[in-house]
Amino acid sequence: MDKFRANLMICGGTGCIASGGLKVKQALEAELLSRGLEKEIGIVITGCNGFCAEGPIMTVYPDGTFYEKLTPADVPEIVEEHLLKGRPVQRLMYKEPEKKKVLPVMSEIPFFNLQVLRALKNKGLIDPEKIEEYIARDGYQAAAKALSSMTPEQIIAEIKASGLRGRGGAGFPTGLKWELCSRVPGPLKYILCNGDEGDPGAFMDRSVMEADPHVVLEGMIIGAKAIGASKGYIYVRAEYPLAVQRLQKAIDDARAYGLLGEDILGTGFNLDIEIYQGAGAFVCGEETALMRSLEGKRGMPIPRPPFPASQGLWKKPTVLNNVETYANIPSIILNGSAWFKSLGTEKSTGTKVFALTGAINNIGLIEVPMGIPLRKVIFDIGGGMKKGRKFKAVQLGGPSGGCIPESLLDTPVTYEDIMQTGAIVGSGGMVVIDDYNCMVSVAKFFLEFTTDESCGKCPPCRIGTKVMHDKLVDITEGRGKEGDIELLADLAQDIINTSLCGLGQTAPNPVLSTIRYFRDEYESHIRDGWCKAGVCRPLVTFYVEPEACKGCGACARVCPQKAVSGEKKKPHVIDQTLCVKCRSCYEACKFGALKAGPGSLAKELIEKAKGVETR
């Protein structure tokens, strides 16, 4: 993409368009063209700025001059004076109003201004059950273009050039996947959509399907044309009833309008799409297992090759893409691959949707340009840690991913860089973990999940994950031994190397990454019988440090056992014989006076208390 020496950000919000923003944009385009400046100065349409009453408005970058109430007649003067001679046009500039607005505008709040909405461009804006509203936002224009004026080769070339990679987690280049399938001859091919989102804490695909179901259909129509498919299935888990309902309405409406079915848009192209509800098995997110499930069989993976591109669903050539991948397709076809690549990095282009959750202030669904540092996502968009806690790690990629510690927070979010840390971008679940969490327990949680969800077909996954989980249980319950860490790491490698499918091949990642960055926690569990985060009950003793205690009584009030006692404004004491280690007091203390000591400390304290009594 060309580098512009200046960018004109024209507000494309409804207010500004209503007051003539598009006419100003057209006038600018014409003026720049007539003066031969179109390669020097770029024009960008932005979302609503919030100053609709002053519209149409425009900001000139890099200098940041803010123009208001523009008309096409003002355009020549701005180009001549400001853009050529460098003198901003005073009379058109924004004047500070007398009364200051209290309500912040989106461009001032990091949660909004660091996001770029592409896959989510209709998020919260259109009524997902009204196909006309989708069409009003350029919906089905890309399908019309692809079906009427592009060959399959041209579609594939455009998607390949865009650099779009699968958003489901593995990051396989979408264009290449389509190309491989398009080259396999066959009268019947399938195009599938993977909506079997199963990572704990991930809800990107659900939100896209609920907020903008037609974009998924449109992406599938374009993909079907590219590979020559005539039948499509959307595999959605039954736990997403609203997504299923809205997708079904979308399919019905699209059929009624001839956007699905035979002779779509009068172009002679046929495609029908059906929803298939999965029963919620995690392994069915794996492509070969998903296809078996669609065939009505038990959802279990099969070895590859043959790859689905040649022998997929019912042994027919098949392409399976993730919901978010499809949501990116229409705008690539409409705006071109160069536009798509203008955001992101060389190998990770475009934007990525994340489900941001955990111990941060702003929990939600966000879309950011690839390459943004993790720190910005967590602290600026996420609004920092909840209750002023300390950041400990961020978990990316769910049960297949890993935990990234604070020292690596400047890692840019790209497929390659995140992979280097031992985590994966994955489908986009991002769980922020604070210092009240024990990392061994976090690893245990994920292993418990994969042990449950392992389909049981191959022994490394079926038995291996169970053995690893048992080891982790031992460590968290005080039965850890020297050599356990090495054993876990060794076993992890074997499971990765020998498992049949992606589930087993990635299941040990949460353990490996926590060993890599939080080895000291494993060691203190095993050697000192001490869970320093105060999570593993057998390995912790809560006690009050008298010097730090202000005697506020917050701990005593929350204790369900009435184990905490003490006079007001005097140091409190925990009766270790009553304490059940629920850690309510630990979380309630605002002065850091409550400490988590090693598990053996309780015994010592009890002995000590007895000693005092008998004396």
Partner 1 sequence: MNKGGNPKGGTKKEAFMRRLTIDDLKKIKEQYEATFTLRHGSYRARVTIHMGTCGIAAGAREVMSALVEALAEAGVKDVVVTASGCAGLCSKEPMATVELAGQAPVKYCQLDAQKIKRIFSEHIQGGSIVQEYALVMGSETSY
Tell which residue, 196, 503, 189, 454, has the closest CA to residue 321.
196
Cβ-proximal residues to 163 (8 Å cutoff; 6+ apart), any chain: 173, 337, 340, 341, 344, 346, 347, 348, 349, 350
Cβ proximity to partner 1, 432 vs 594, nearer residue: 432
Q: Which two tokens stand for residue 410?
A: 């400047």
| β-pair type (573-574, 564-565) | antiparallel
d(CA 456, CA 244): 29
CB of 357 to partner 1, least distance (A): 8
CB of 251 to partner 1, least distance (A): 15
Residue 237 · residue 198 · CB < 8 Å? yes
CB of 378 to partner 1, least distance (A): 14
d(CA 331, CA 345): 18
Tell which residue, 118, 117, 107, has the closest CA to residue 50.
107
Cβ proximity to partner 1, 253 vs 417, nearer residue: 253
Q: Which two tokens stand for residue 290?
A: 């998903």
CB of 549 to partner 1, least distance (A): 33
Cα atoms in the 13 Å half-sphere on the side-chain side of 497: 6
Residue 440 phi, psi (nearest 5): -65, -40
Question: Which residue type sits at 196?
Answer: D
CB of 352 to partner 1, least distance (A): 14
Cβ proximity to partner 1, 97 vs 306, nearer residue: 97
d(CA 464, CA 450): 11
CB of 302 to partner 1, least distance (A): 33
Cβ proximity to partner 1, 151 vs 361, nearer residue: 361
CB of 535 to partner 1, least distance (A): 24
Peptide bond into 305 cis (omega under 30): yes
Cβ proximity to partner 1, 225 vs 471, nearer residue: 225
CB of 345 to partner 1, least distance (A): 17
DSSP 99: S
Tell which residue, 265, 123, 295, has the closest CA to residue 192.
295
Tell which residue, 280, 334, 127, has the closest CA to residue 214.
127
Cβ proximity to partner 1, 116 vs 512, nearer residue: 116
Cβ proximity to partner 1, 321 vs 331, nearer residue: 331
Cβ proximity to partner 1, 353 vs 589, nearer residue: 353
Tell which residue, 384, 391, 348, has the closest CA to residue 173.
348
Cβ proximity to partner 1, 11 vs 605, nearer residue: 11
Cβ proximity to partner 1, 123 vs 516, nearer residue: 123
Cβ-proximal residues to 370 (8 Å cutoff; 6+ apart), any chain: 343, 344, 345, 348, 349, 350, 351, 352, 412, 413, 414
Cβ proximity to partner 1, 252 vs 477, nearer residue: 252
* Burial label, 94 (beta-carbon count in 10 A; 0-12, 13-18, 19+): middle
Cβ proximity to partner 1, 264 vs 418, nearer residue: 264
CB of 113 to partner 1, least distance (A): 7
Cβ proximity to partner 1, 215 vs 602, nearer residue: 215
d(CA 534, CA 583): 7
CB of 128 to partner 1, least distance (A): 6
| β-pair type (58-61, 231-237) | unpaired
Three-state DSSP class for 446?
helix
State the sign of the Cα–Cα–Cα–Cα dihedral 304, 309, 314, 315.
Answer: negative
Cβ proximity to partner 1, 289 vs 356, nearer residue: 356
**Alpha-carbon distances of 262 from 269, 335, 382, rounded to whole Å:** 7, 27, 46
CB of 189 to partner 1, least distance (A): 24
CB of 460 to partner 1, least distance (A): 36
CB of 101 to partner 1, least distance (A): 8
d(CA 444, CA 468): 9
CB of 141 to partner 1, least distance (A): 7
DSSP 378: I
d(CA 224, CA 231): 8
DSSP 523: H
d(CA 79, CA 71): 13
